[in-house]
Structure 1
Amino acid sequence: MKRILLFAILSMSLLGFTQTSLTYEKPPVFSECESEAIDQVKSCFNYTLQSHIYKNFKVPNIISEESYNGNIQILFEVNNEGDFKVIYADATYDELKEESRRVFDLLPKVEPATYNGKPTYVQYSILIAIPLTEPVREIEKTKEVKLSKKDSLNSILSNEFDAIADQLKPYEKLEYTSQLNIPFSHSYYARFDDEMNAIGTNSHTAAKPFVYSDVNKYYDIKAEKESLAKDTDSWVGRKLFNEHLVEIQSKDYWFTVDPILDLQVGRDGAADFSSTWNNTRGIFVQGGLGKKFNFSASVYESQGRFADYFNQYAESIRASGPDPALIPGRGIAKRFKDDAYDYPVAEAYLSYTPSKFFNIQFGHGKNFIGDGYRSLLQSDVASPYPFLKTNIKFWKIKYTSTWMSLRDVRDEVIEDKTFRTKYMANHYLSWNVSKRLNIGLFESVMWQNSNDRGFDVNYLNPIIFFRAIEFQTGQGNGNAILGLSSKYKLNNKFNLYGQFLVDEFSLSDITGGEKSWKNKLGFQLGTKYFNAFDVDNLLLQAEYNQVRPYTYAHNTVVLNYAHNNQPMAHLWGANFRELVLIGRYNYKRWFADAKFIIGQRGFDFNTDEDSFNYGGDIYGDEDFRVGNTNIKIGQGNKTNSFMTEIQAGYLLNPTTNLKVFTNIIFRDFNPEAITASTMDSNTLWFSIGVRTDLFNWYNDF
């Protein structure tokens, strides 16, 4: 955290002796400078302040001014009443920091800076050099002087820095109308779900994350954030409760910088270790260059130890090599101390919008397709991956194409000690058929780098049928999946939604009634109830998901529908049925979520006596399937599970989504047979913490 704060301070100090987050018409004015011409006020302010420091600063006795050479970095503010306040002081000795604060406390009240004719606050940074030197007043000359070519160049260079600073203007919260993604969190997206789904809107809500400009048509995020702002004038209060840590805006660009935190501590009642914890620190940067180009980056440094069932799962999907675990949804983890994990993560993307119809994004992150809590088509449960995505919107259509580079990290597919690369491309066509009905068509194909094939340009065309291309390149070289989604708005309070997935389909086997293994199908049915029982901001949701055995798998094992040992669709893979019940409520800055999941799954036994593939593991080899017919959901090591997760908390900063929370998970997991990979467990996991909510944590595997 200290390094992040120093980064922010240094970022601001790069602006020199000028205001860091707000521009002004006239700087603050000491009484000594009231008679100065307007073009001399700035130099008079500098000289008067430096003279005050020189006359009043007393080098502490423990420091020899003759032998010590160094600088004191001061960040200070002159508020809208003309009072000086030191925000941050950095020096080698604490005594120098204390003396700096004392000297600034002696400064008299001044006439405050003005903006649009009104008093405003300004922030400055200054270096105090030790040994002290008496300042010299530099008068800004305005008369015309004939300069040599060399002098002219020096003049331009010396004024350029100030010119850049002078172009700064108050931050206008441009992110809320930009082409940046709204960080995808189910909890936060619930705040504007009802407005996006009102009857008659031409919104498209399945392809996520949303961009701010799309949501801004239906829900004023900027107004929501401002309505939640706390009444505070102090710099610390504004940054903690209302604003980005750093906000910079000029005529042609803007950017913000924020720290990322996910600090948790808790207890798993069934675990042998004393506590669970997570320690994430990071930085989040977003901005825009002109009106068409935006960028975002988030970097996380994390260590953690989780509930016992979570740790076991993380280690069960570990990558090939010495590292002990793969943290679900995050990435490969190194060992930290004896029983914890170290897992760095980085996500970033560029967003370019050449016209109102077209947006293209290139980056490293996740995507999601669906209106539910789960997705059977493409979900965000796996680790981040490189992607290229285009969105085309016109009439009642939104067409999303995504190309991804994925990895298979298992021991059995490693080549030359490197992870196996595979690629995936998908298309999603969303069509608002009427004011109430939306239909979406989905297709996806997975292929590997066989025969030095690399990224197959056959799949680069965004308007094409993947199934036909798969036949042209050889069925063993690709795994195509088709899907259908739909949403119907009963009224402004009730929505129905669903998905239907086809991985492989045999009409003759279906009509034969023998439940063939070839019928790799799945479906989802769900409903949302907005402002339930006339309670504002109360969302109730019910969802049923079902996927048959062997779905998402493939006879070429590396072509399974997965990345980094995690599914690219539903968290449970295949061979399951599940009921999800969710309630979400928010009131001003307070929020509460409750989730109940009841499920039945079929696992492999993985014993010497029974090594059949029962269809739940999407990495499983289909050649070892348990049979060709009479394939049922839950076959194999049938496991019933129940999970409850309840979370409540307070939104500390609506602008950065920083929240304090408490979370309780109860999980009951009951397989018919106890095996090395399927253990009976009963977990009560309690946590409290503070978190910047930028992505979904899924604990319900």
Structure 2
Amino acid sequence: MFKNVITPTAILLFSGLAVSTTVNAQSIGTQYSLGFYKSSTDSLNYHSSQRDYSIQPSFDLPQGDTLHKQSWFYRKLFREHLLELKEDDYSFYASILPDLQLGHSSTRGNIWLNTRGVIAGGTIGKNLTLKAEFYENQGKFATYIDDYGRQNLIVPGQGQWKSFSNGTAFDYAYSSALINYKAGRHFDFQLGYDKNFIGDGYRSMLLSDASFNYPFLKIIANVGRVQYTTMWAQFIDMKYPESSYGTGYRKKWGVFNYLDWNVSKKVSVGLFEAVIWQDSDSTGKRGFDASYLNPIVFLRPVEFSVGSPDNALMGFNLKYAPSVNSTFYGQFILDEFVLKEITSGSGWWANKYGGQLGFRSNNLFKVKNLNILTEVNAARPYTYSQRTTLNNYGHYNQPLAHPLGANFVEWVNIADYRYKRLFLRGQITYAKYGLDSAGINYGKNIFESYYTRAEDYGNHIGQGLNTSLLNVQGTAAFLLNPKYNLRLECSVTSRHEKNSAWKKDELIFQVGLRSSFRQLYYDF
């Protein structure tokens, strides 16, 4: 919650973040694994800070790479989905999505991944779009991912696992689905079991796609230069004890408002607010709170009117594009603060906020398809945390924003290059953070109650067991089929994590036949 703060959510009360008729190019970049989004020529009506997962991306094959072979096998392997139908009033596609990898870890020996996936989707009429994916997986992971999975009972971004191969590997499955209905020029409605992302960078301090899928309903509107969305979502709390036998994990709800305004061809401003509340109170009678149903309401006064029991956050997203190919961007997230405590500089624990500052450029040095990104992210201790996990900014044992949680500063650098069907990508991530030590909560783990904080004053980023992380990865891939992102891929990852108590080094090499449009984050 906020103190002495007025929420600025809907400066324009009704406008919208819609699924634009222009394909969200940021979505294309991430779904093809290596590239970044390209700037839209219609910059006044194009909003880059929302990843749109409803659109099946297209990919421009290199000139001269034509259908010189017309056999069914050639078309299905290199050009088309396994099934494709297109009629005047409907379309359908479906493909098998393999993700088969073999590798070696310097600390764990042989590692592997065996994923069999299926994607299906299509359109009905001009306004209804559908998409569904399913993945069945078994995998033996690198040491640091295996440790994370056993500690948190999940595979990062992919849900809960069960033991496999005599306890050395994980067996897990998950699915996603999205229905999008476009109601005229100005409105879209989305019903999904998927992820969402707000921002122009690699990470998001507002809402990221690093955690597991969740059900949501999104009302989207688009009016000229302004886009606005309201989303209601349900999240899973794996930490809090079950309320009774057979009810499963406890649930919590979230409502999100985001307004994006293209002030000019070069400048856009996005305003964000969210409220997280537990599915039921101590009496077990609350459930979904109808107070948050109005899609254009200011959330903070509503949160206060119901007794201020919930977790309210606010923030903004900024973008400045000095040229068609270059963008400066930034974010700020405010969880809680008292103005006099900030100005005093005393490091009060409840001054909980974070931010992002970054730059990205396409066609660097006028080299086509050479792209770079450099980005700094940071969050003060105890940001995103709450009294209990039923109110914190997390889902399925992962943060809803940055995968490092809080009490960190991170520098991400990424470069990629595409030549015809060949992709090259390099990433260097350096982070410093403070881990909990001797059972004391120093503010990194957002699933710890802030009631267990170490101190009221003197809090700063990196407090606790001061730890540094250097993660360096290089990837080369050869694209076989752009329709479902089938590619041959090879990667090398070097990970170094250390502090005054221990040191963990791991070198990982992997090769494989990969497919799908999943965005999975293992760089933590």
Q: Same fold (TM over 0.5)?
A: yes
Query: d(CA) in 1 for partners of 2:66 and 2:219?
Result: 35
Cα drift, residue 681 of structure 1: 1.1
Aligned residue runs from structure 1 range 390-429, under 5 A: 390-410=219-239, 412=241, 415-417=244-246, 418-429=248-259
The corresponding residue for 1:463 is: 296
Query: d(CA) in 2 for partners of 1:178 and 1:206?
Result: 14
Cα drift, residue 210 of structure 1: 5.4
The corresponding residue for 1:263 is: 100
Query: d(CA) in 1 for partners of 2:59 and 2:236?
Result: 39
Query: d(CA) in 2 for partners of 1:222 and 1:688?
Result: 24
Cα drift, residue 433 of structure 1: 0.6
Cα drift, residue 189 of structure 1: 7.6
SS across alignment from 2:122: strand
Structure whose residues are more often strand by fraction: 2
Of the candidates 265, 271, 277, which is equivalent to residue 112 of structure 2? 277
Of the candidates 197, 206, 211, which is equivalent to residue 382 of structure 1? 211
Assess if the C-alpha contact under 8 Å between 1:423 and 1:446 holds in 2: yes
Q: Structure 2 vs 1, CA of residues 230 and 515 (structure 1 numbering), >3 Å: closer, same or farther?
A: farther
The corresponding residue for 2:511 is: 688
Percent sequence identity is 38
**Structure 1 residue 436 and structure 2 residue 436: aligned?**
no
Assess if the C-alpha contact under 8 Å between 1:301 and 1:343 holds in 2: yes
The corresponding residue for 1:205 is: 48
Report the residue type matching 1:621 in the other structure: S
Query: d(CA) in 2 for partners of 1:235 and 1:177?
Result: 32
Assess if the C-alpha contact under 8 Å between 2:26 and 2:48 holds in 1: no
**Structure 1 residue 612 and structure 2 residue 433: aligned?**
no
Aligned residue runs from structure 1 range 127-146, under 5 A: none
> How many matched pairs?
500
Aligned residue runs from structure 1 range 321-400, under 5 A: 326-338=154-166, 339-400=168-229
Assess if the C-alpha contact under 8 Å between 2:102 and 2:113 holds in 1: yes
**Structure 1 residue 250 and structure 2 residue 87: aligned?**
yes
Assess if the C-alpha contact under 8 Å between 2:195 and 2:213 holds in 1: yes
The corresponding residue for 2:433 is: 601
More RCO (CA 8 Å, sep 6+)? 2
Cα drift, residue 693 of structure 1: 3.3
Query: d(CA) in 2 for partners of 1:408 and 1:648?
Result: 37
Cα drift, residue 611 of structure 1: 2.4
Cα drift, residue 412 of structure 1: 4.0
Query: d(CA) in 1 for partners of 2:452 and 2:99?
Result: 43
Q: What is the RMSD of the two structures over their aligned residues, measured on CA atoms?
A: 2.2
Query: d(CA) in 2 for partners of 1:340 and 1:222?
Result: 35
Cα drift, residue 249 of structure 1: 2.3
Report the residue type matching 1:249 in the other structure: K
The corresponding residue for 1:448 is: 278
Of the candidates 499, 510, 514, which is equivalent to residue 331 of structure 2? 499
Cα drift, residue 225 of structure 1: 8.1
Report the residue type matching 1:508 in the other structure: K
The corresponding residue for 1:664 is: 492
Q: Structure 2 vs 1, CA of residues 178 and 483 (structure 1 numbering), >3 Å: closer, same or farther?
A: closer
Query: d(CA) in 2 for partners of 1:199 and 1:352?
Result: 23
Cα drift, residue 487 of structure 1: 0.2
**Structure 1 residue 236 and structure 2 residue 69: aligned?**
no
Higher-Rg structure is 1
Deviations 1:178-207 (A, max 9, x none): 9999966626387462333x5844310111
Report the residue type matching 2:86 in the other structure: Q
SS across alignment from 1:525: strand
Of the candidates 32, 38, 49, which is equivalent to residue 194 of structure 1? 38
Assess if the C-alpha contact under 8 Å between 2:27 and 2:37 holds in 1: no
Aligned residue runs from structure 1 range 563-642, under 5 A: 563-605=395-437, 610-642=438-470
Of the candidates 124, 128, 152, which is equivalent to residue 293 of structure 1? 128
Q: Structure 2 vs 1, CA of residues 263 and 291 (structure 1 numbering), >3 Å: closer, same or farther?
A: same
The corresponding residue for 1:646 is: 474
Q: Which runs of 5+ in 2 are unaligned?
A: 1-19
Cα drift, residue 237 of structure 1: 0.5
Report the residue type matching 2:380 in the other structure: R
SS across alignment from 1:452: coil
Cα drift, residue 401 of structure 1: 1.6
Aligned residue runs from structure 1 range 92-107, under 5 A: none
The corresponding residue for 2:483 is: 655
Query: d(CA) in 1 for partners of 2:66 and 2:276?
Result: 46
Of the candidates 319, 336, 346, which is equivalent to residue 514 of structure 1? 346
Q: Structure 2 vs 1, CA of residues 255 and 199 (structure 1 numbering), >3 Å: closer, same or farther?
A: closer
- TM-score, normalised relative to structure 2: 0.91
Report the residue type matching 1:194 in the other structure: K
Q: Structure 2 vs 1, CA of residues 632 and 179 (structure 1 numbering), >3 Å: closer, same or farther?
A: closer
Query: d(CA) in 1 for partners of 2:30 and 2:415?
Result: 11
Assess if the C-alpha contact under 8 Å between 2:44 and 2:262 holds in 1: no
Q: Which runs of 5+ in 1 are unaligned?
A: 1-175, 216-220, 319-325, 675-679
Cα drift, residue 229 of structure 1: 4.9
Cα drift, residue 286 of structure 1: 0.6
Assess if the C-alpha contact under 8 Å between 2:33 and 2:519 holds in 1: no
Q: Structure 2 vs 1, CA of residues 474 and 229 (structure 1 numbering), >3 Å: closer, same or farther?
A: farther
Report the residue type matching 1:262 in the other structure: D
Q: Structure 2 vs 1, CA of residues 599 and 192 (structure 1 numbering), >3 Å: closer, same or farther?
A: closer
Query: d(CA) in 2 for partners of 1:264 and 1:481?
Result: 40
Cα drift, residue 235 of structure 1: 0.5
SS across alignment from 2:145: helix
Q: Structure 2 vs 1, CA of residues 190 and 669 (structure 1 numbering), >3 Å: closer, same or farther?
A: closer
Query: d(CA) in 2 for partners of 1:295 and 1:464?
Result: 29
Cα drift, residue 243 of structure 1: 0.6
Report the residue type matching 1:631 in the other structure: N
SS across alignment from 2:161: strand
Report the residue type matching 1:263 in the other structure: L
Report the residue type matching 1:254 in the other structure: S
- TM-score, normalised relative to structure 1: 0.69
SS across alignment from 1:509: helix
Report the residue type matching 1:343 in the other structure: Y
Query: d(CA) in 2 for partners of 1:201 and 1:276?
Result: 47
Query: d(CA) in 2 for partners of 1:556 and 1:515?
Result: 22
Assess if the C-alpha contact under 8 Å between 2:31 and 2:518 holds in 1: no
Deviations 1:262-284 (A, max 9, x none): 1000000112xx41100011211
Assess if the C-alpha contact under 8 Å between 2:355 and 2:377 holds in 1: yes
